[in-house]
Amino acid sequence: MNTAVVLMAYGSPNRIEDVPAYYADIRGGRPIKPEHLADLVARYQRLGIEESNPLNEITEATRSALEAELGLPVFTGMRHWNPRIAEAVQQALAGGADTIVGLVLAPHYSSLSIEKYRAQLEDALDGRAELRFVERWGDEPGFVALLAERLVVQKHKHVVFTAHSLPARIVAEGDPYHDELLATARLVAEAAELEDWSFSFQSESPTGEPWLGPDILDHLDELAANGVEDVVVCPVGFVADHLEIRWDLDVEAAEKAQELGLRFDRIVLPNADPAFVHVLAGLVRRAAAVPSAG
């Protein structure tokens, strides 16, 4: 058996000029309002995307550390930017892989998230190698322990677990995303022995339909009204510092907390921390050892 790993991430534009094409990819051909594009460009500009691109850099650091730990070739495939998932598959096949482990750097399954990565991977693979796909890993003990460790010193504060929101219609469609997020939050809260915690969504997109809530900004209002003074955010649906963390939490939510007189902090994300890479390596080893059903 000749195994390679395709490590998948959301992807991020490297330059400001890339933002329109990147946004168009995310929208999948649906129209973009000029004011929404201008707003996105402004966010990337404020974060200094030209000087450094956290998501793509952290993904590369994770890829190379995972490759070193596994002793297997690991190729990065981005869902919305370069290198694309199809390029990663091409590289893996060119290197002689007959078995590919697909792992997404997002822990919770949704038809609008993990399933989209899988579709790109399967299309590119087109049956040319065996696929062993890791569908979800939000309850992986090493991941739970890693987040819990980051909260132990903050355990007397109110902890808000967060994840990317998705259109609310997924609940009626039976999508397990919301339940899986809450399960991770509960496991981490238990492991860190938290006294007071809640869950909210973040990073809703202006797509014109209702999204899952409460949104973190409304949730902060509610917490302040209930007398909470100290908030620490623990994102469970993201594993790296990127726009949704550095803008939506570090700028937007932090400003809102300041207006409300709340002390506001967040945990350091797993990024390419060796302990996190070790968790990913365990997921790959297990998937490589066990052929997936179907």
The minimum distance between CB 28 and ligand FEC, in angstroms, equals: 7
Residues linked to residue 222 through DSSP beta bridges, in sequence order: none
Cβ closest to ligand FEC, residue 16 vs residue 275:
16
Between CA 10 and CA 76, with CA 57 as vertex, the angle to 5 degrees is 50
- Cα distance between residue 113 and residue 125, in whole Å: 19
- Cβ-based nearer residue to ligand FEC, 166 or 283: 166
Contact 13, 44 (CB under 8 A): yes
CA atoms within 13 A on the CB side of 22: 18
- Shortest distance, CB of residue 193 to ligand FEC, whole angstroms? 28
Instruction: Please say which residue, 113 or 154, places its beta carbon nearer to ligand FEC.
Output: 113
Q: Distance between CA atoms of 70 and 216, rounded to whole angstroms?
A: 37
Binding site for ligand FEC (CB under 6 A): 10, 12, 23, 26-27, 40, 55, 106, 112-113, 164, 166, 205, 207, 237-238, 242-244
Shortest reach from residue 106's CB to ligand FEC, in Å: 4
- Please state, in angstroms and rounded to a whole number, the distance separating the CA atoms of residues 257 and 220: 7
| Dist CA 177 CA 158 (whole Å) | 23
Identify which of residues 199 and 238 has a Cβ nearer to ligand FEC in the complex: 238
CB closer to ligand FEC out of 6 and 166: 166
Distances (CA, A) of 165 to 42, 126, 257: 22, 31, 20
Relative orientation angle of helices 177-191 and 141-151, to the nearest 10 degrees: 60
Nearer to ligand FEC, 29 or 294 (CB): 29
**Least distance from C-beta 226 to ligand FEC, angstroms?**
28
Cβ at position 86, least distance to ligand FEC in Å: 17
Q: Which residues of 45-71 are buried (b: 16+ CB within 10 A; e: fewer)?
A: eebebeeebbbbbbbbebbebbbebbe
Least distance to ligand FEC, CB of residue 100, Å: 19
Separation CA 97–CA 114 (nearest Å): 23
Minimal distance, residue 122 CB to ligand FEC, in Å: 17
Would you state the structure tokens that stand for residue 179, as one six-digit string? 């339940």
Q: Which is nearer to ligand FEC, 67 or 244 (CB)?
A: 244
